[in-house]
A and B are shown apart, each in its own frame.
Chain A
């Protein structure tokens, strides 16, 4: 009986220790990568191609998700606030929710799924086929050549994606408000612009940049330390998406709390 209890405790303890050592390892990777970002040479072509991939090619996914979220938000606000369902309320709820939370978080999650998985799979494949080892022997530092451009591009791109996503989301709300709820377009638009707060937008962009850091760092980490074989690549991909999604949702709370107490 006691044996089982002890075994159970032991396994919890081991899990905790593993987790702490993973955290330490990740932190080391994080600081190392950061330090490479600020040291020459910079691979501008690689940064650019990553920007294209993360920024440009994510637009459809991000646009679609935020558009429908804006629409659903307008509809639910209208249904939920039956007592004060006027232009101003709906416009404000849509605006605030999107700029503060939904825009950044949805964009972050979509990019984590699309780009994070890709980064992790790419780097993990390079690890298991010894391409990363080869890079090191060919006068290049793998972290600087492979990972730094991805991190730079993600931190630059995701704020832009969020801005675009915000706009499309608000547009989605507008479409529902005008064409389904028969609101007055002028009043709705006026309420939106009137209620637009810089702090919300800035907060959203800060979140976006941090999500960019999280997604790229976590994905590259799991890819970089992938173990051998196809299974290692699969594990790296799954782990990077799951962990970066969790970290996005955790950090959005922390940042919100910091900004708005």
Chain B
């Protein structure tokens, strides 16, 4: 997939290091995300992918290093400025983190409705327009997250992240637990978001075919740091043993 990637950096991580009670989870993490670029992060379970994402969105504070969003280091940034920067981010959490006391449509429009003081009716219309592209039926909008299936919850979480067209999208395993058809629907959505809105995306995923579809660049987290990085094409030819294992175990056909 060829796309025009600007040289403008939207996220830059430098020398990031994160530990919990002395256990180092991440160290020497360096990468850049350019405007219009789609980055995939892969790595074994427990390798620290979610931790990396949480550092980027300011939920965790790194021990060391800097994280720049639109050229501003968010580490130790005063609250108000941090909030402003985060306005531009659309995030899905690995386990959805939907508000279970709110209906699905309220979940989807949560940020935009508060920000733009939308009426309920307009907000519902907005929610409807978003889930149309996600293969969801309108009738689930008035249900609560606990009343829909796990895969539907996943998509509601994605809808919540992309509502309001944020410039930077961060997805933590958006397609895990989805059937392959819906999974590729989500992939298309990520591509569209990056291509048409001119946004940038970081997607954590275990699905190698998805990586090939959506990513311009791939990062492998291994041994607490970036073990390999390159384009999906390079990845398929890579001699890195971890990468080979990953590809072989998901889809041997890809490797031919």
Question: What is A's interface to B at a CB cutoff of 8 Å?
Answer: 122, 125-126, 129-131, 133-141
Q: How far is the CA of A137 from the CA of B54 in the complex (A)?
A: 10
B220 interfacial contact with A, CB 8 Å: no
Residue in B83, B97, B101 whose CB lies within 8 Å of A134? B97
Q: Do A130 and B95 contact each other (CB < 8 Å), given the known contacts A138-B160, A139-B83, A139-B111?
A: yes
Q: Which residues of the other chain, B, contact A122 by a CB distance below 8 angstroms?
A: 101
Q: Which residues of the other chain, A, contact B87 by a CB distance below 8 angstroms?
A: 139
Q: Which residues of the other chain, B, contact A134 by a CB distance below 8 angstroms?
A: 91, 93, 97-99
Q: How far is the CA of A129 from the CA of B98 in the complex (A)?
A: 8
Q: Which residues of the other chain, B, contact A129 by a CB distance below 8 angstroms?
A: 95, 97, 100
Nearest-neighbor residue (CB-CB) of B87 within chain A: A139
Give 14 A-B contacts (CB < 8 Å), ordered by A residue: A126-B99, A129-B100, A130-B93, A131-B98, A131-B100, A133-B93, A134-B91, A135-B99, A137-B91, A138-B114, A139-B83, A139-B86, A139-B111, A139-B115
Tell me the minimal C-beta distance from A124 to chain B in angstroms: 13
A136 touches B59 (CB 8 A): yes
Q: Which residues of the other chain, A, contact B59 by a CB distance below 8 angstroms?
A: 133, 136-137
Q: How far is the CA of A90 from the CA of B212 in the complex (A)?
A: 84
Q: How far is the CA of A122 from the CA of B100 in the complex (A)?
A: 10
- Contact string against A for B residues 78-111, beta-carbon threshold 8 Å, 1 for contact and 0 otherwise: 0000010011010101010111110000000011
A137 touches B98 (CB 8 A): no
Q: Which residues of the other chain, B, contact A139 by a CB distance below 8 angstroms?
A: 83, 86-87, 111, 114-115
List B residues 32-86 near A (Cβ within 8 Å).
54, 57-59, 83, 86
Q: Which residues of the other chain, A, contact B91 by a CB distance below 8 angstroms?
A: 134, 137
Q: Which residues of the other chain, B, contact A125 by a CB distance below 8 angstroms?
A: 100
Q: Do A137 and B114 contact each other (CB < 8 Å), given the known contacts A130-B97, A131-B98?
A: no
